[in-house]
Structure 1
């Protein structure tokens, strides 16, 4: 598969994975962990907090204003890199969420979101234009949860400042075909869900994860000691997810997944890959609690 196509596909899937969730989440606290692999490669811990404040403008029309912050603790064995690993031992990501949603008719709802922010290793201690990112989404949602056979269709478009790619479309289709079974197909994820009860739910899931960040001071990488200005990690994971509903709006979740692919790249300002790290992590853990619409 051509590298350019693989990169575009990853960005496409990653962006759309957050679109519906962030429009419906009012608050979330989350932890993601990748324990060190068998060959002492790297370990990864991400702590994330998200909050959105809904403002009702009129019936079925809301403005959302919120914050999304992540702190990433990243450790890599110095034998795998040619530079001081402390240059990439932590990253911070911050977004301002501004969303707007309203009901078009009895079947369709429209939602849009814009996210200015920054993503950086902050080694220079001061933010610069290089750290800035801008992302945005627009989606049309048809949610028929009250049907005899409930389903949800999402059609939309996203622009990713983190990936530097142009406008990207996506589609997602969810259907509950049995009182205890449902599925979601499309991009960015595929899952099969078993609704054990009104409070307990299990899912077989496959999805993508990852992040990108600016390297403020630049890092000399590769045989030619070229200067890398961008850091990117891409993950493809598959496994089991458990969800417990305290109420209709408060939910705890935990994922235990196997890492199918883990890629770490160092890139220049033109997003050309200068060097890569070979990762051998096998386990991906994600857990958190969310307050949703």
Structure 2
């Protein structure tokens, strides 16, 4: 695909960030850590993703294929009544299949299906219980490129379901973006809200709040107190903080963020998804850094 086609595609569509996976990123690698602090658990995550857009015959329509992989580690500084080694290493892999097409009155449809797996074992030992399905359906109206509008804006309305991002139930997807000053813009919505200061073409600062987390299957189960058996783990967080972005070039960006966890919950769950044991999750600091290639 010619670079001009890719640029047109990304600018018109995926700059809207219509999904949790930030599909405006063609390539991204980042590292996240929740230091132990006063908690008994330290959480770390290495994530890498790759997306590739394909132009379809219908004008303005595109297919997107991508992979999103994460390795998550939990380090426990205690000796619980269960096998903590079963909770030390998790593998998550999603296949992104996206489709977008123009609609009437400057609206655009975005659909994404994400089959994948999320487990505490390696891919060689996968089972049907490891399989998860996620998806998004959104409608986008983007006026950020309209030169006749003094305060560019963008509206996204839809719904999102994710089987392995900490909130395994349908959520509304709402995003309203407006650049109200040459150096200021905001985005109000669910699952992300932010206020951004454009210090220069290279430096940006962002105050934000968002949802995060993961869900993973526990192969072979984990026996709790010799009676109950946990078959999955769920971590859900609500966080807020400051992000700094340095634009190395037009398409390459370094970012670093420090967050305070407004809410953090880590639970072992039974087969019916009921919580049977809450792990100590009093971590307060959330740190992430990474580099992305986007157009």
| Deviation, structure 1 residue 277 | 0.8
Q: Judge conservation of contact 1:77–1:85 (CA < 8 Å) in 2.
A: no
1:110-168 per-position Cα deviation (integer Å, ceiling 9, x unaligned):
21111111000017951000000011111111121133201111111223334553x54
Equivalent residue for 2:183? 180
- Say which SS state the counterpart of residue 198 (structure 1) adopts: coil
Deviates more, 1:226-235 or 1:19-28: 19-28
Q: How does 1:119-268 map to 2 (within 5 A)?
A: 119-122=118-121, 126-146=125-145, 147-162=149-164, 164-165=168-169, 167-221=170-224, 225-268=227-270
Q: Judge conservation of contact 1:180–1:196 (CA < 8 Å) in 2.
A: yes
1:15-34 per-position Cα deviation (integer Å, ceiling 9, x unaligned):
xx971653322111111111
| Deviation, structure 1 residue 274 | 0.4
1:24-61 per-position Cα deviation (integer Å, ceiling 9, x unaligned):
2211111111111135x111110011001111114422
- Say which SS state the counterpart of residue 86 (structure 1) adopts: helix
Q: Judge conservation of contact 1:46–1:72 (CA < 8 Å) in 2.
A: yes
Equivalent residue for 1:12? none
Equivalent residue for 2:12? none
Equivalenced residue count is 273
Equivalent residue for 2:7? none
| TM-score when normalising by structure 1 | 0.87
Q: Judge conservation of contact 1:87–1:123 (CA < 8 Å) in 2.
A: no
Equivalent residue for 2:10? none
Which segments of 5 or more consecutive residues in structure 2 lack a partner in the other structure? 1-16
CA change 1:264–1:219 in 2 (3 A) is: same
Supply the distance in 2 between the matched residues of 1:161 and 1:237 (Cα, whole angstroms): 20
